[in-house]
């Protein structure tokens, strides 16, 4: 069977990666809107309603406009939205199959999927299981930070790094951003983790194209159930047991670090997320590492598409 796929916003960073990852898949037919008609709502509506799956790789407002073009009564066309527009909307299913035991089936049956944000994916993979199990209280005042490649900032940021010739000294150093503490991923980070308060989140961009590490400090005294790092590692290993794309790293991390360090790029070009637990009896640090353009964007979207269409979930994706 052939499935028709329309990528609305095909020329953006995520859209290009989805297009690239779907190229050569014989069961997928990509519907390509003529360039001159790309912004014609009437023509776009025809493509949306002809598709089995529509990937929305657009700003929030444009994403909502495209969803509104779905014809009344059309229950066949299914959406996977890569914007932040619908991630906490209860009418949309959150596209993280590994979230809990029932999430994969919700995705399978959904017409509208909200693809997770990259930073949010890392935070939720770490915090949702702990809150759900009562190890971390919903009242916990979480702090998190991330180190990410510049591709996560979209075309403008990519151009500022890649088209600038010699980078100014200030851009050669990792740079904190979103210092107003209102990053657009915060609502989903709170809602999907089960926390009652927004985490204090500070992302950092570095002079490398892609790759991401999200870290969450956990003072042992703040846990609702006191756990050692080894016990938390065992908990995560059991929680994500059998998951193709989630790899919980061993409690003894000496063999998986790079000279005792944790580079952000080791999962690039895959859909794999790795989970680490570091620390001692008093201080614990959780970390998740993955490709911000893979499990953090296009890979996650394709994983959801595979589930929705009843295909092998890992088809076209590297673990």
- What are the pLDDT digits (tens) for 269-301? 999 999 999 999 999 999 999 999 999 999 999
Q: How large is the average pLDDT for residues 166-182? A: 93
Quickly name the fold that domain 3-116+297-308 has. Answer: Rossmann fold (3.40.50)
Report the distance separating Cα 258 and Cα 263, nearest Å. Answer: 7
pLDDT at 164 exceeding the cut of 80: no
pLDDT at 138: 98
Comparison of pLDDT for 245 and 156, the residue scoring more: 245
Q: Which residues of 36-71 are buried (b: 16+ CB within 10 A; e: fewer)?
A: eeeeeeeebebbbeebbbbbbbbeeebbebbbebbe
33-47, 134-148, 194-208 — which is least confidently predicted?
33-47
pTM exceeding 0.85: yes
pLDDT at 163: 86
pLDDT at 35 exceeding the cut of 90: no
Q: How large is the average pLDDT for residues 169-183? A: 94
pLDDT at 93: 98
CATH superfamily of 118-292: Dihydrodipicolinate Reductase; domain 2 (3.30.360.10)
Report the distance separating Cα 281 and Cα 283, nearest Å. Answer: 6
- Over pLDDT 90: what percentage of the chain? 89
pLDDT at 312: 97
Q: Fold match between 3-116+297-308 and 118-292?
A: no
pLDDT at 154: 83
Q: How confident is the model at residue 36 (pLDDT cuts 50, 70, 90)?
A: confident
Listed by start position, the domains of the chain span 3-116+297-308, 118-292
Q: How confident is the model at residue 68 (pLDDT cuts 50, 70, 90)?
A: very high
* Residues with catalytic function: 118
């Amino acid at each position: 069977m052939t499935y028709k796929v329309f990528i609305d916003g095909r020329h953006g960073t995520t859209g290009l990666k989805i297009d690239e990852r779907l190229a050569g898949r014989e069961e997928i037919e990509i519907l390509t809107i003529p360039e001159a008609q790309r912004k014609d709502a009437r023509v776009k509506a025809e493509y949306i309603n002809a598709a089995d799956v529509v990937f929305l790789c657009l700003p929030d407002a444009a994403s909502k406009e495209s969803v509104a073009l779905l014809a009344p009564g059309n229950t066949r066309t299914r959406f996977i939205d890569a914007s932040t527009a619908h991630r906490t909307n209860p009418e949309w299913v959150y596209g993280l199959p590994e979230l809990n035991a029932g999430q994969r089936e919700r995705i399978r049956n959904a017409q509208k999927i909200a693809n997770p944000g990259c930073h949010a994916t890392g935070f939720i993979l770490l915090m949702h299981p702990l809150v759900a199990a009562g190890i971390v209280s919903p009242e916990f005042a979480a702090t998190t930070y991330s180190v990410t490649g510049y591709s996560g900032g979209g075309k403008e940021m990519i151009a500022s790094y890649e088209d600038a010739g010699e980078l100014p000294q200030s851009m050669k150093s990792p740079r904190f951003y979103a210092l107003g503490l209102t990053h657009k991923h915060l609502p989903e980070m709170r809602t999907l983790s089960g926390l009652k308060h927004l985490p204090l989140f500070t992302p950092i961009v570095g002079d490398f194209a892609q790759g991401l590490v999200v870290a969450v400090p956990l003072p042992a005294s703040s846990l609702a159930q006191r756990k050692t790092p080894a016990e938390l590692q065992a908990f995560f290993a059991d929680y994500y047991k059998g998951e193709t794309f989630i790899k919980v790293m061993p409690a003894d991390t000496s063999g998986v670090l790079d000279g005792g360090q944790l580079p952000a790029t080791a999962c690039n070009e895959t859909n794999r997320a790795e989970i680490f637990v570091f620390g001692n009896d008093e201080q614990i640090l959780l970390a998740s590492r993955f490709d911000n353009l893979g499990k953090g964007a296009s890979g996650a979207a394709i994983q959801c598409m595979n589930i929705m269409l009843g295909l092998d979930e890992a088809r076209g994706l590297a673990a």
